[in-house]
Amino acid sequence: MTRLWNDPADFADEMIDGFVAANGRHVRRVPGGVVRATMSPAGQVAVVIGGGSGHYPAFGGLVGPGLAHGAAMGNLFASPSTQQVYSVAKAAELGGGVFFSYGNYAGDVLNFDAAQERLRAEGIACETVTVTDDIFSATADEAHKRRGIAGDLTVFRIAAAAAESGADLAEVTRLARRANERTRSIGVAFTGCTLPGAEQPLFTVPEGRMAIGLGIHGEPGVDETDIPTADGLAELLVEKLLAEVPDGVQLAGARVVPILNGLGSLKYEEMFVVYRRIAQLLADAGLELVDPHVGEYCTSFDMAGTSLTLFWLDDELEALWQSPVDTPAYRRGAVAAHQRTDTSARSPISAGAAAPTTATATEAIEPGDEASRSAARTVLAALRTVVETVDAHVEELGRIDAIAGDGDHGIGMQRGSHAALAAATAAVDAGAGARTTLARAADAWADRAGGTSGALWGVILGAVAAKLGDQGRPEAAAVAAGVAAGSRAVTDYGKAEVGDKTLVDALVPFSATLTQAVDGGARLADAWRTAAHAATRAAQATADLLPRMGRARTHGQSSVGTPDPGAISLALIVTAVGELLAAPNQKESANG
């Protein structure tokens, strides 16, 4: 369990502030994360890593000479937002392009890819290699679907070493891809992890049992067994990894880096006992062990568990692996002294001071006309209803998500909706029209929530906002068109389809029913409520589906019988907004 926090909603920001205050020699704070506090050569490829917080030393602890140039740091177990990734990359970029690497999780892919496209549109070359080392999360013939766990370290380190050597972006990418192809990991856990302020862990393991193949975000294991002895655990881990040796590797004489990683609360002494047997088994298999690692490299908050990674070297990769590194949490060899960044060139954000990362936060607002300002007040009322709805169901949404995911859906929705309401309130107070009000809310939701749901709700609200305008009262047809545009954008952006057991399963029927009812002459309030009923039925029906997208995909059958949390949260929200639109004081707006 976790014991020390102030407001759980502020935990990640306060953690980053403290991390920067303690490690000012290595890192400095920028909106969205941290970058090196030391100078790097102009024209060097900038290696930018990242993901959710709660995995220290990944990701901020790996920023410094010889390793990453910057780390985008999201909320606990939630990917950084597009704006956070973009902000860190802009601060880290040196003129040689940006190389991104991170674990292969849906929210990270969505947000890093979106940031990458923004940078490319500005003329900054970018490439990405997602880490896919977890052998239990997909079969070998679908290795591209595997998630990244402690094998992140090998890919990050090879990419960074290549960049430090002067390699160009294409070469850095080639070597990182090769490192990923030659990295395999498997993890086990004896207890779940508990987020700050939560009363229960994200998942539990029965007393005396061990989960096998778990994810680093608290996703439950794929399999379960009795807790073995230390030697028995070593034998299980080694057996699984030696059963899948990378193509082209001959066991006899192969050189391999073993990394025994603690997931948060397993004692080092226990890991040394396990590693003793791992080393014996690998040597007996004819392997030559290079630079063994035993420690914490990618944790899962306070989870009791461990993972074993094998990084299969060749001459090219080994030369890069031996390069020196100096970061807050990871050091190897001797790094030459680096000049500190000129303070006059720094971001105005001081170390230890968090900053808003939404680009529009300081932009002037062009007032809307009276009709649009009135509509903006309806938007604000709807967002207040959204917040109340999410707050009322946050624990249930988390419980549903924990069945086959990481259990943070309710928390993420809460963060996003509260940020959206705050941004919309400020916009309305400044005289904004409906479009600007909802657009500000969309940006704030995506930025504060992070993760997959944050990105998708930002897309939905942004699409609706674009159809509302800042002049005149929006017609019902415009609202329906905005929802339809949001539905199309979500399927284009997230690549999910109806039947994949995602938010899309509720969003598509909601949009289709709303459009049909409005086209048939129904008032917006009536059409919306009819559509909400369709969304609710569809969301409940996801209980019968096997997941084909997102983190739940790994757990397959275990999620059958439980509806998708994203679909359920959307259905709850549109139902509550429908009741608001039908209320007597909203009838005039709902007729529009």
Using CA atoms, how far apart are residues 185 and 179, in angstroms rounded to an integer? 13
Mark out the alpha helices in 51-105 (DSSP H runs): 82-92
393 annotated active-site: no
Catalytic residue among 55, 69, 217, 555: 217
Of residues 18 and 215, the one with the higher pLDDT is: 18
Give the pLDDT score at 347: 39
- pLDDT tier at 193, thresholds 50, 70, 90: confident
What pLDDT digit, counting tens, does each position of 476-514 carry? 999 999 999 999 999 988 788 999 999 999 999 999 999
Q: How far apart are the first and last CA of the chain?
A: 51
Using CA atoms, how far apart are residues 456 and 401, in angstroms rounded to an integer? 17
Q: Are 63 and 27 contacting, i.e. CB atoms less than 8 angstroms apart?
A: yes
Give the pLDDT score at 196: 87
DSSP annotation string for 139-181: -GGGGGGPPPSTTHHHHHHHHHHHHHTT--HHHHHHHHHHHHH
Using CA atoms, how far apart are residues 538 and 567, in angstroms rounded to an integer? 8
- pLDDT tier at 400, thresholds 50, 70, 90: confident
> Per DSSP, what are the bridge partners of residue 189?
211, 305
What pLDDT digit, counting tens, does each position of 308-326 carry? 999 999 999 999 999 999 9
The answer to pTM > 0.85 is: yes
- pLDDT tier at 558, thresholds 50, 70, 90: low
Using CA atoms, how far apart are residues 372 and 370, in angstroms rounded to an integer? 5
Give the pLDDT score at 554: 52
